[in-house]
Amino acid sequence: MHARAGAEVRAFPQRRADGLSTVADGGACARQLFEDLPAPSTADPEAALLEALRRAWETGERMPRLARHIRPGFDPARFSDRAQALLDTLQARARARLPAAEALAFCSGLLERALADLSRLALLLHRAERRARRRA
């Protein structure tokens, strides 16, 4: 059973195990869904982190270094709203531009990645708050 699953993965190298097809591994899926997304304004502190997440989701980068993109004045609530809007946009594009099976695979893979990345970000923010309280 496991050998068969491995053979299926090797037979379709352009499709990653989590369903995301990325620009990095030659998939047109991510390229067409991420192209011409409006760039976030660089003036606000959430923009750098939002752009880092978008880039990681597009390229399939695992464990992006999110902490270095948190700027002074970062507002977790405002970032959460903007990240949700980005996810909604990508899912809507997938449903509109891809066949149903590919859209479902893309959306489920994207949501899985987003959950992992945003959970890790919440942990980073929690640790930073605890350190700040100890210093104060």
Tell me if the pTM is above 0.75.
Answer: no
**Looking at the 3D structure of the chain, how many domains does it have?**
1
Q: What is the pLDDT of residue 12?
A: 34
Length of the chain: 136
Burial group, residue 121, by CB count within 10 angstroms (0-12, 13-18, 19+): buried
Q: Is the dihedral of CA 46, 73, 66, 122 positive or negative?
A: negative
Cβ neighbours of residue 64 closer than 8 Å, sequence gap 6 or more: 52, 53, 55, 56, 117
Three-state secondary-structure class, residue 107: helix
Number of neighbours of residue 16 by Cβ within 10 angstroms: 17
Separation CA 129–CA 99 (nearest Å): 44
| DSSP label of 43 | T
Written as tens digits, the pLDDT of the chain (136 aa) is 444 444 433 333 344 555 555 544 445 566 677 777 777 666 788 888 888 888 888 877 776 777 788 888 888 888 888 889 989 998 998 888 888 888 888 888 888 888 888 888 888 888 888 988 898 8
Q: What is the pLDDT of residue 99?
A: 83
Q: HSE on the CB side for 13, CA within 13 Å?
A: 4
Identify residue 135 by its one-letter amino acid code. R
**Domain encompassing residue 23:** 2-135
Six token digits for residue 110: 């994207």
Q: What is the pLDDT of residue 126?
A: 87
Q: What is the pLDDT of residue 122?
A: 86
Q: What is the pLDDT of residue 88?
A: 92
Six token digits for residue 131: 């350190």
